[in-house]
Amino acid sequence: MAKHKTPLLDQLETGPWPSFVTDIKEEAARRAKNEKKVNFQVPADVCDDLLGLLELSYKHGRTHWKHGGIVGVFGYGGGVIGRYCDQPEMFPGVAHFHTMRVAQPGGKFYTTEYLRQLCDLWELRGSGLTNMHGSTGDIIFLGTTTPQLEEIFYVLTHEINQDLGGSGSNLRTPSDCVGQARCEYACYDTQALCYDLTVEYQDELHRPAFPYKFKFKFDGCPNCCVASIARADLSFIGTWRDDIRIDQEAVQGYIGGELPPNAGAHMGRDWGKFDIKKEVLGLCPTQCMWLEGKKLKIDNRECTRCMHCINVMPRALRIGEEKGLSILAGAKAPILDGAQMGTMFVPFIKVEEPYDEIKDVIGKVWDWWMEEGKNRERLGELMKRQGFQKLLEVTGLKPDPRMVKEPRSNPYIFWKEEEVEGGFMRDINAFRKHHMR
């Protein structure tokens, strides 16, 4: 018997898509039954009260969580999102309902053994509810009480060899696409680089030392499956600088209709026979492809590596062999000055352990932003305020047309005094000798 009536939420238990309401109800019932005789460390009816509170929000059209909440574990300045409900007497089971961010493994690959360890821990000491996963990548333990935080952290670190993720004005939990683990497009090992940098910068992740939050994301190619270009302050996107590898026989396979275009991604509709001229050559953004007799030709020097032709003919076209990545900087959501996507500032860098060249760039960006960034100013906003030139100056990079979509159209150009012959110090009287008032 459910503790609270939830007539509104009950209506979300039908339809084809999996219902979170049914799932939470089932967890509530499992906890009420408690077949394993677990000595629950947070109220057994936490899931019932969460549904009750959510039903009340549906009735009121407003959230019922109090503002903020500052909790955590000793030694760290983040990792836990404190939360208290604003009707604790009606819903004591969620009076405390803190979230813990748990650092996820690269590519979000798991063994069931590991996931069960997490489930056992969270069953005893938390609500039994999770997010798999938070938008930034973390495993989310959704809902526990303050006294359990240290206990959970102790078990995580001592028994599961597992740390918390990031929150607050610091380096947040980095995340990556599936990469070379299961994708032929990956231009570098996203998991290896993501893991290496996560371990390297543990201090920056656990103890907020920044003006605001900072995120890394690692995409193996410009398809951007982890959306780094939109969702990370530094986006690491794989690319190559030599020629696309062409298997002419497979090209004929596509033209002849033996191989499905785009790996069969459009099989739900009849789009007609594959037309390489229309579907590949005609859509190439730089028009650098052509057919010579039966042979497909690419003027690789003019290719911008957008991935379209490779995506359409994955068995015929492969990424080049001289691989690396581009670094883009400054993506963020709208608050405060408007949304930004990452801006290209390192067009090509090799990806070689121990990644010193990449770490050097990160260090220089942080040195600048940590000193100059205003309170709650993202890197992208500092770039807008102080100028892209400043980013180049602090990283020692040479300006390059690859860094702009177009040159400026206003002529409000700053010059440095040392760039201008004779400097800025001038004598008005010397001027007046030749120009009367």
The strand pairing partners of 289, in sequence order, are 298
Tell me phi and psi for residue 257, to 5 degrees.
90, 5
Binding status of residue 266 toward other proteins by CB under 8 A? yes
3-state DSSP assignment of residue 232: coil
The single residue among 30, 297, 364, 390 that binds other proteins, judged by CB under 8 A, is: 30
- Interface with other proteins in residues 324-383 (CB under 8 A): 333-339, 341, 375-376
Residue whose structure tokens are 């275009």:
261
The single residue among 34, 157, 248, 389 that binds other proteins, judged by CB under 8 A, is: 157
Under 8 Å between Cβ of 93 and 43 = yes
- Least CB distance from residue 107 to other proteins, whole Å? 6
User: Is residue 249 classed exposed, middle or buried when 0-12, 13-18 and 19+ CB atoms within 10 A define those classes?
Assistant: exposed
Binding status of residue 285 toward other proteins by CB under 8 A? yes
Binding status of residue 411 toward other proteins by CB under 8 A? no
Q: What string marks each residue from 44 to 63 as x (binds other proteins by CB under 8 A) or -? A: x--x--x---x--xxxxxxx
Residue closer to other proteins by CB (options 400, 432) is 400
Tell me how many residues contact other proteins (CB under 8 A): 148
| The two structure tokens encoding residue 66 | 């109090």
The single residue among 3, 88, 90, 195 that binds other proteins, judged by CB under 8 A, is: 195
168-201 burial code (b ≥16 CB/10 A, e <16)? bbbbbbbbbbbbbeeeebbbbbbbbbbbbbbeeb
Under 8 Å between Cβ of 184 and 314 = yes
DSSP for 287-322 reads --EEEETTEEEE-GGG----SHHHHH-TTTEE--SS
Binding status of residue 404 toward other proteins by CB under 8 A? no
- Least CB distance from residue 430 to other proteins, whole Å? 39
- Least CB distance from residue 44 to other proteins, whole Å? 8
- Interface with other proteins in residues 115-144 (CB under 8 A): 115-116, 119, 122-125, 128-133, 135, 142-143
Residue closer to other proteins by CB (options 74, 431) is 74
- Least CB distance from residue 226 to other proteins, whole Å? 5
